[in-house]
Amino acid sequence: MPSPLSRPGWDLLSRRQFLSHTGTGLGGIALAALLANDGLLVAEATSPLRPTIDPARPYAPRAPHAPPKAKNVLVIFVSGALSHIDTFDFKPELIKHHGKPLPGGDNLVTFQGENGNLERPLWEFRPRGQCGKQTSDLLPRLGELVDDFCFIHSLTSKTNTHGPGENFMSTGFTLDGFPSMGAWTTYALGTETENLPAFVAIPDPRGLPQAAGNNWGSGFLPAAFQGTAFNAGEPIRYLARPPQIEPAADVATSEFLQRLNAQHLEQFAGDSQLAARIASYELAARMQSSVPETADLAAEPQHVLTAYGADSANKNKAGYARNCILARRLLERGVRFVQLFNGAYAMGEGVGNWDGHKTLAAQYPGHAEILDQPTAALLADLKQRGLLKQTLVVFCTEFGRMPTFQKGASGRDHNPHGFTVWLAGAGVKAPFTYGATDPFGWKAEENPATVYDLHATVLHLLGLDHERLSFYHNGIERRLTDVHGKVIQKIVSG
């Protein structure tokens, strides 16, 4: 009759074998514990990192995963797809082959249709700064600051449509419903200011970008982490105290309400939704004084207003300049993530944004007048005040434009295959250039980079591991970078 026990089973009945196996097992447990303490286990190094959020203090500062190089982020989003061909990506071969067919572009159909021949940059490029970086005369004030910039000339996108392109640049997904980069940042890190939102979006004075609130939405993250949208011309509504209510009565009422809320929360201890709701109302109460003070530019000296162009006769330029000053004031007061928009969608194709399909030469100078001086003044002001040492600046657009003119038109079609963004400030090398498009500026050729890589790099500079920062949603560990992205280590400063 065969034995009911296997050979390993018989071994366990042996005292000698039992003690041997037990000793080996305990040694393995001890080794695993030591490796875990040193962070050397693969599972430990790749497991999700979800911050612990106190519903009563959702914006409380939280430690990053690693020592950060940047504490704050300013994203300058140029809506409409700014032409890299006519601004920052100098292509001598494009000038040399002006008027000729694009090599490899036979019968090429892009977003709006067929393309014509190669079209040289419409503005002259010149060496700028101490580094001699070539940029165009369209944005001369920004060109003067190239010694502070880290250019990525080889960025690519997944889409050539504005709405999905804005979604992708801001959220890492072309579809609606995903958290924005600012929401991920404040979810991970909170903020160091108690009286202002952790994440502020500043729309262009002319209106909203095409993807509107998707650019600063919280998606499936807790709603507390969505951006608060306001600008210098339109502060947050319904914050002002009604004139018929005396200040003392207003303060007394707020204090009484706070006591009532605290008592109510004691009765329902552990109710995270109630705690979050109370925290939201308390922040709104504090914002009644902090936001008007921050958005009030009356205290700014005249020379600052003039440097930014806030006193310009061009109301759109003046409005955008005031938004730039507001961005600086928010960063000064510890707001973690500021998203500043240049360009609006509702005014029509290329009218209020950089979507230069038909008459680029006629439209771009007006947009450049609005963008150039205020943005350059903001960068210079941040540097002069020492804020660039802790603030990462990201200048981006949803995709680039073609090196050809559209057939039968005097403008450039959409181009997601290669375009330029630049970074400045905390954690990045400057002056520095990374990657390159082909000789005509059509496709990324040297060190192609993705929006996922850009997002991974931003999070890395904030001390966050993009592969581990996650939120469990509908059975999936969601990340800003989805399942993609690599940190662009070559642009990170030592």
Residue 217 in tokens: 């939405």
∠10-16-19 over CA atoms, to 5°?
Answer: 100
- Measured CA to CA, the distance from residue 287 to residue 324 in angstroms comes to 20
Instruction: Work out the number of other CB atoms within 10 angstroms of the CB of residue 320.
Output: 31
Q: Which residues contact 314 (CB under 8 A, 6 or more apart)?
A: 369, 370
- Measured CA to CA, the distance from residue 379 to residue 465 in angstroms comes to 27
Instruction: Work out the number of other CB atoms within 10 angstroms of the CB of residue 490.
Output: 11
Q: What is the DSSP letter of 456?
A: H
Q: Kindly provide the b/e burial profile for residues 216-249, where b requires at least 16 CB atoms within 10 angstroms of the residue's own CB.
A: bbbbbbbebbbbbbbbbbebbeebeeeeeeeeee
∠70-229-239 over CA atoms, to 5°?
Answer: 115
Q: In the predicted model, is pLDDT for residue 33 greater than 80? A: no
Instruction: Output the pTM of the full model.
Output: 0.88
Going from the C-alpha of 54 to that of each of 47, 84, 195, 200, 320, the distances in angstroms are: 22, 44, 17, 21, 36
pLDDT of residue 282: 77
Mean pLDDT of the chain: 91
CA dihedral 234, 328, 78, 100 (to 10 degrees): 150
| Residues 416-464: tens digit of each pLDDT | 999 999 999 999 999 999 999 999 999 999 999 999 999 999 999 999 9
Helices (H) and strands (E) counted in the chain, each on its own, are: 13, 20
CA dihedral 109, 112, 116, 120 (to 10 degrees): -120
| Residues 459-491: tens digit of each pLDDT | 999 999 999 999 999 999 999 999 999 999 999
Provide CATH code, domain 72-238+300-491: 3.40.720.10
pLDDT higher for 267 or 30?
Answer: 267
H/E segment holding residue 11: helix 7-13
Q: In the predicted model, is pLDDT for residue 394 greater than 60? A: yes
H/E segment holding residue 433: strand 432-434
| Residues 208-223: tens digit of each pLDDT | 999 999 999 999 999 8
pLDDT of residue 21: 64
